[in-house]
Amino acid sequence: MKRKKVLFVSQEIMPYLSESNMSKVGRTLPQGIQERGKEIRTFMPRWGTINERRNQLHEVIRLSGMNLVIEDTDHPLIIKVASIQSARMQVYFIDNEDYFHRKHILADENGKYFEDNDERAIFFARGVMETVKKLRWAPDIIHCHGWFPAFIPILSKRTYKDDPIFNKSKVILSVYNDEFNKPLSSSIKSKLKLENITKKDIELIKDTDYLSLIKFAINFSDGVIIGEKIINKTLLEYIKTSEKPVLSFKDTEDYITPINQFYDQIINNENNDK
């Protein structure tokens, strides 16, 4: 039987960022899923706080060099990679000098969120999709962690829906307690006017705050995982009424097995629908 493929798109991964619930999952879940017989690829942003020399990042020339256009401006896409030897896994980093070479991640030293976080997230999501296309590696599951990859679901279901790499992919969103307190730019809707994304699709982002963004991502996902013991209560209620398959938070050492089983459930749901 052909091994199933899982693409992990994570906002945080240890050891490249400090320890948090999300970064621990970003580090241990791909390894655990790989050890259970599935193929994996893992992506995250090349945040400016990551020490490239210490973590031995290097550019992958054959994957770099593309320009992504956001509102008529070209932004070079650079792909870097590093290995976590103990896990026998590689991590691909989406990089761009304008978006990611900063001393802070999502907010400056005063806690003020960067005005272009919306563009950075869109660039990241598109960079992941284009790089996976170049790798010619068709994922059965795309598992997104955190709000920063929140545009992956709509890209998968709309812009890349007819691409043979993604036309059978199922998207799962893990929701964490990573709420931001300032809405993203109001121009986000114009920046999302990409191939096959309709005005009706974009209008689902009623506001540009955290709740609207995550609800938007859920609408285009095939399943949801509660990634943290405590998440926004309004969001939790929305998830419960969304009619999407939901995996509740697993506060155990072996959360990998139920997630692996959830992947199989989502894949089998697709097969049963045919």
DSSP letters, 81-131, are: EEEEGGGTEEEEEEE-HHHH-SSSSSB-TTSPBPTTHHHHHHHHHHHHHHH
- Kindly report the pTM of this predicted structure: 0.96
Both tokens assigned to 9:
């798109």
Asked if 156 and 171 count as a contact pair (C-beta separation under 8 A), the reply is: yes
Domains and CATH numbers, the chain: 5-273 (3.40.50.2000)
Residue 270 confidence class, pLDDT cut points 50, 70, 90: low
Residue 81 confidence class, pLDDT cut points 50, 70, 90: very high
Checking if the pLDDT of 272 tops 90, the result is no
pLDDT of residue 176: 97
- Mean of pLDDT values over 257-265: 97
- Digit-coded pLDDT (tens) for 95-148: 999 999 999 999 999 999 999 999 999 999 999 999 999 999 999 999 999 999
- Digit-coded pLDDT (tens) for 4-41: 999 999 999 999 999 999 999 999 999 999 999 999 99
Q: Which helix (H) or strand (E) holds 262?
A: helix 256-273
pLDDT of residue 269: 84
- Digit-coded pLDDT (tens) for 153-194: 999 999 999 999 999 999 999 999 999 989 999 999 899 989
- Digit-coded pLDDT (tens) for 183-238: 999 999 899 989 999 999 998 888 899 999 999 999 999 999 999 999 999 999 99
Asked if 10 and 57 count as a contact pair (C-beta separation under 8 A), the reply is: no
Checking if the pLDDT of 273 tops 60, the result is no
Helices (H), 179-251: 188-191, 199-202, 210-219, 233-240
- Indicate the residue type of 45: P
